[in-house]
Chain A
Amino acid sequence: NAGVMQNPRHLVRRRGQEARLRCSPMKGHSHVYWYRQLPEEGLKFMVYLQKENIIDESGMPKERFSAEFPKEGPSILRIQQVVRGDSAAYFCASSIRQGEGQETQYFGPGTRLLVL
């Protein structure tokens, strides 16, 4: 049973380019979360999605960042016009559903974004 999958694992972009990060949740999981991690720091919540719906985007920067989780296919985190400060590791997690016993979030291996 495959875990959470993310690709690419490493992504290099020049300032001003777009970055697209993909996440496929664990089989049977319908809830997806994106987090960002800077070196030597904990993970910071960005956005929580269910299929075709953004539930909580309180951690997303107001500009240049967007996320989607379409009916078919992976969840996408999109960063437009990247800047050096966007360099970080971006992790996706998934859970079965809300509610006691179902809410454990399992993480993927992450995408390391480097902006030159």
Chain B
Amino acid sequence: GESVGLHLPTLSVQEGDNSIINCAYSNSASDYFIWYKQESGKGPQFIIDIRSNMDKRQGQRVTVLLNKTVKHLSLQIAATQPGDSAVYFCAEKVTGFQKLVFGTGTRLLVSP
């Protein structure tokens, strides 16, 4: 159930599965990338970030991979739990600017 694209696709997984959420970013001048989780009615919650001089970074149950050659970012969630159900956004920051440019997100649905 892997999804691609930036038009709010939905990824449905079973509890305990690993999830992979993909994002294609637009600007080769971007030097900083963040994944946010947004639950219904709440603000975006920081998950993990990565700078352009890295290609992988790991957190607790999450891993972000960056492929600058094809301008692709992915978020891997290990042992997905029902509490992981939310919309996930990637965001990029271009060198010299402070604003974040967000993708349209991926909805993750985790079934017990």
A and B physically associate: yes
Interface on A for B, CB 8 Å cutoff? Answer: 4, 6, 31, 33, 35, 40-45, 48, 55-56, 58-59, 91, 95, 98, 100, 103-110
Check B98 for interface membership: any CB of A closer than 8 A: yes
**Cβ-closest chain A residue relative to B53:** A100
Residues of chain A with a CB closer than 8 A to B100's CB: 33, 35, 43, 45, 105
Instruction: Give chain B interface residues in 5-44, CB to chain A under 8 Å.
Output: 6, 8, 32, 34, 36, 42-44
CB–CB B98/A104 < 8 A: no
CB–CB B45/A58 < 8 A: no
One of B46, B49, B91, B99 near A48 (C-beta < 8 A) = B99
**Cβ-closest chain B residue relative to A108:** B43
CB–CB B34/A104 < 8 A: yes
Cα–Cα distance between A89 and B12 once the two chains are bound (Å)? 26
Beyond A33-B98, A42-B104, A45-B100, whether A91 also contacts B49 by CB under 8 A is no
Residues of chain A with a CB closer than 8 A to B102's CB: 35, 42-44
B92 smallest CB distance to A (angstroms): 11
Q: Closest 7 interchain pairs by CB?
A: A42-B102, A107-B43, A45-B99, A107-B44, A42-B104, A43-B102, A109-B43
Q: Chain B 43-73 against A: per-residue CB contact (8 Å), 1 yes, 0 no?
A: 1111001010000000000000000000000
One of B44, B51, B98, B101 near A91 (C-beta < 8 A) = B44
**Cβ-closest chain A residue relative to B7:** A40
CB–CB A91/B43 < 8 A: yes
Given contacts A41-B8, A45-B100, 9 further A-B contacts (CB under 8 A): A4-B43, A31-B98, A42-B89, A42-B104, A43-B100, A104-B46, A106-B46, A107-B45, A109-B43
CB–CB B34/A33 < 8 A: no
Cα–Cα distance between A107 and B47 once the two chains are bound (Å)? 12
CB–CB A56/B98 < 8 A: yes
Between-chain CB contacts (< 8 Å), 15 pairs: A33-B99, A42-B105, A43-B89, A43-B91, A43-B100, A44-B102, A45-B99, A56-B99, A91-B43, A98-B98, A103-B93, A106-B46, A107-B43, A109-B43, A110-B43
